[in-house]
A and B are shown apart, each in its own frame.
Chain A
Amino acid sequence: MARYLLRRTAFLLGSLLLAASLLFVLLRLLPGDPSNALLPMGATPEQIAAARRQTGSDLTLPEQYAAWLGGLVRLDLGTSYVSRLPVGGEIAARLAVTVPLTLLAFVLAVVVAVPVGFLTARRAERWYGPLLSGFAQLGIAVPVFWIGMLLVTVFALRLRLLPAGGFPREDWAEPGRALAALVLPVVAIALVMSASLIRYVRSATLEVLGSDHMRTARALGESFAGAMWRHGLRNAAAPVISILGIELATTFLGAVVVESVFALPGLGALLVEGIAEHDYPVIQGVLAVSTLAVLVIGFAADIAQRLVDPRLRTRLGRP
């Protein structure tokens, strides 16, 4: 396991370096110039030259690349061209919104999807089986921003139970208000996420329910719950865990849509601002952090899978 961890960590760092380099190249291919965001209407040639110096647009590409990678190694993401604030600090402030948002939504989605998915499979013949499947289908078809707007209309504008958007100025120093600000966005994401999770849980459960070893276990006298607990769940869990990893990563990256509907100062919003202003340090920093997050989630999902499924350990864990 230790060697495996080491190898995975090396792989992770390698991927990060590759992603950082790709990012650098792709950003430079975009038309436009970062100095533009600083310039007023009617800027003179001297003002344009000064802005280019300030944003480092006058440096050669290798120089810019070396500065970017050098900073990354020192864990220094640089300073925003536009706001002049350190990018690391800006990202940290945004993560304080996006990470709780993603994790809460993820937990809620799992807590809803696993039992519901299981039920739709186990009770496919009862009236609520197809009904729940139907809801899951609907949830996949409906875009998350629309659900968000619907929730705002009902719970914020009509019932006045929750804020329509924004995040308290005091951040998590006011945990009640911070949580309240996240309830509707969390529910919006969780609804959509659980809709697709339900389908995976359902098909994994169906597969296990129809399997030979479950039948054998029952034939040997185990109760349904006992057989499910000892033999069924583990087998159903493995494919679901890899989907969970992907879902979590997608939600983290896709939170921007919900952040925009609910006016939350999250990471996605920072990225969008950065792109609009051609603010290289911000774009590169956000994408590097997101890449790292996705890689770490994948890593964690792999390990979790190996823990529930010993076969993976024997096949891949040893040379």
Chain B
Amino acid sequence: MTRKFAGVAVALALALAACGSDPAAAPQKSPSSGTADATIEIGSQYEPQNLDNTGGGGQGVTEALNGNVYEGLFKLTDAGKVENLLAESQEVSDDGLTYTFKLRQGVKFHSGKALTSADVKHSIERVTAEDSQSARKSQLEVIKSVAAPDDRTVVVTLASRSISLVYNLSYVWIVNADAKDLATSEDGTGPYKLGVWKRGSTLSLEPFPGYWGPRPANGGVVFHYFTEATALNNALLTGAVDIVTSEQSPDALGQFTGNADYKVSEGHSTTKLLLAFNDRKAPFDKPLVRKAVSSAIDDAKLLESIWAGHGSLIGSMVPPTDPWYEDLTTIDPYDVELAKRQLAEAGYAKGFRFTLDTPNYDPHPTAATFIKSELAKVGITVDINVITADEWYSKVFKNHDFAATLQEHVNDRDVVWYGNPDFYWGYDNKQVTDWIKQAEQAKTAEEQTGLLKKANRQIAEDAASDWLYLYPQIVVASSKLSGYPVNGLNSQFSAYGIKKG
């Protein structure tokens, strides 16, 4: 009896082992005939929530589809420059209120329909529509009307000057005006069309044969989605993926640095970790208290402990890739004695106690614990309140019901939120609001840059928030790969030029 049982067990174990050694099952991929036909396997931790960037698709949809499946009138290059894409030329009226764009000819949607100005009009109006969930909606509210006088011409009329219009249009996907269900399917003009999206696992893109430009340097790409950084790194180690779009686990980097099979590149990110105060309420309504807190926290040590030497300190909201960047790390330097003096001057010589609303995902809880121990040295007691992203949105963002919070802010050029007194942190400085408004209406880029530099410096002087650090943007790839973006500005990841071999 027992022997029979054991026999079955052995047989099953063998059967399982046999499946494992089946050549088709091995993790290596079948050799491709040439590099231009090779499929690029991309590993990422940011799966799109749906496929519509005006409907809550999140960071993942930008990464997978921006520039790959959808194109804008303009594109933001990996170096941070804005270039023509579906627009061939642009003309601006002298008062800066009328923009005339000529469209590139011979552009087709994946469904086969030719691109016309009616599609562009529809696409812009989709973003500015009342029910749009686009992150760019408020920036594009300056648009009064969009007209399509002929098939190739789009005329955008503004209510007031907007020097960022062209830049903001680089986020507006041009979609087929007749397309339905853009949350689960697509109809763009990009070099790739959507293959299959298996939610929770993979999203594949195939070259679009009717693309107006040269075909991509590869035979298609597959995004593989992981929730665990370790599982993602294992996939890279076993060759199941060729590249990781944004490495989030600094501990794992040791496996790849100094290994000839991999290349590690550190580019510029636009993601900032903020200790955001509620500037409306005591004690953080006093700039001196905010400055004291900023000076009491050793940002360099925090960055070292979380990112092990990667990333950088910025001292204010603007990252180095924005044209109005300045190094402001000296304004509230790490200085415990200074912090104590400032607290005493503000009337809090004995310190105070506050609750820090902390999102429950990395790196926020780690940062919160660090901040708690740093502030204890100047007599401030921190109660850490861990909340979900969803609670954060309700409690902090919508209801402004908080004393201070930790949050990562991913977009570039988002210093402009300090010009909006209704934003969750409630920073209200009339001068800064005016500068930011004037900057948007500036006639030249120099004027805009000058004004935003002033605003950025002022918010640092007021310690409107404490900008703890700027995240690194680390791409790890197989050394067979070339032509991939390293900066990932605003989470874009253009696959067009990636070559294998």
Residues of A within 8 A of B (CB): 31-33, 36-44, 46-48, 50-51, 53-54, 82-85, 90, 93-94, 107-108, 111-112, 114-115, 118-119, 122, 149, 152, 155-157, 160-167, 169, 171, 174, 176-177, 179-180, 183, 186-187, 225, 228-229, 260-263, 265, 269-270, 272-273, 276-278
Contacts and interface: CB of A to CB of B under 8 A. Distances in A.
A107 to B, nearest CB: 7
Contact of A276 (B181, B390, B414): B390
A166 B201 contact: yes
A161 B199 CA distance: 27
A81 B198 CA distance: 17
B282 interface: no
B132 interface: yes
A270 B20 contact: no
Given A42-B423, A166-B224, A167-B201, A47 B394 contact: no
B56 A37 contact: yes
A93 B202 CA distance: 13
A84 B56 CA distance: 10
A252 B409 CA distance: 38
B196 interface: yes
Interface residues of B, number: 70
Contact of A36 (B131, B237, B394): B394
Given A42-B423, A83-B183, A164-B237, 20 more contacts: A36-B390, A37-B56, A39-B393, A42-B414, A50-B130, A82-B50, A111-B8, A111-B12, A157-B237, A161-B21, A164-B231, A164-B235, A165-B234, A166-B231, A166-B235, A176-B19, A183-B20, A263-B228, A263-B232, A276-B390
Contact of B135 (A36, A41, A176): A41
A54 B235 contact: no
Nearest to B420: A42
B5 A83 contact: no
A128 B135 CA distance: 65
A261 B398 CA distance: 35
Interface stretch (B22-30, B103-111, B459-467): B22-30
B181 to A, nearest CB: 8
A260 B20 CA distance: 21
Interface of B: 1-2, 5-6, 8-9, 12, 16-17, 19-22, 24-27, 49-50, 52, 55-56, 130-135, 137-138, 181, 183-184, 196, 198-202, 204, 222, 224, 226-228, 230-232, 234-235, 237-238, 240, 387-391, 393-395, 397-398, 409-411, 414, 417, 420, 423
B386 to A, nearest CB: 12
A38 B134 CA distance: 9
Contacts of A40: 56, 133-135
Nearest to A107: B12
A261 B231 contact: yes
Nearest to A118: B2
Given A32-B393, A42-B138, A187 B202 contact: no
B2 A187 contact: no
A31 B202 contact: no
Lowest 3 CB-CB distances: which A-B pairs, in order?
Answer: A38-B56, A180-B25, A40-B135
Contact of A39 (B56, B388, B391): B56
A235 to B, nearest CB: 15
Contacts of A228: 1
Given A33-B393, A114-B5, A119-B2, A164 B388 contact: no
B388 A32 contact: yes
B227 A269 contact: yes
A272 B232 CA distance: 18
Q: Considering residues B21, B393, B411, which has the most beta carbons from chain A within 10 angstroms of its beta carbon?
A: B393
B390 A180 contact: no
A112 B7 CA distance: 10
B493 to A, nearest CB: 19
A281 B336 CA distance: 50
A51 B56 contact: yes
Contacts of B16: 108, 183, 186-187
Q: Which of A32, A152, A161, A260 has the most C-beta atoms of chain B within 10 angstroms of its own C-beta?
A: A32
Contacts of A83: 49-50, 183-184, 199
A33 to B, nearest CB: 5
Nearest to A187: B16
B27 A156 contact: yes
B49 A82 contact: yes
Contacts of A114: 5
Nearest to B411: A41
B132 A47 contact: yes
Nearest to B49: A82
B2 to A, nearest CB: 6
Contacts of B201: 166-167, 169, 265
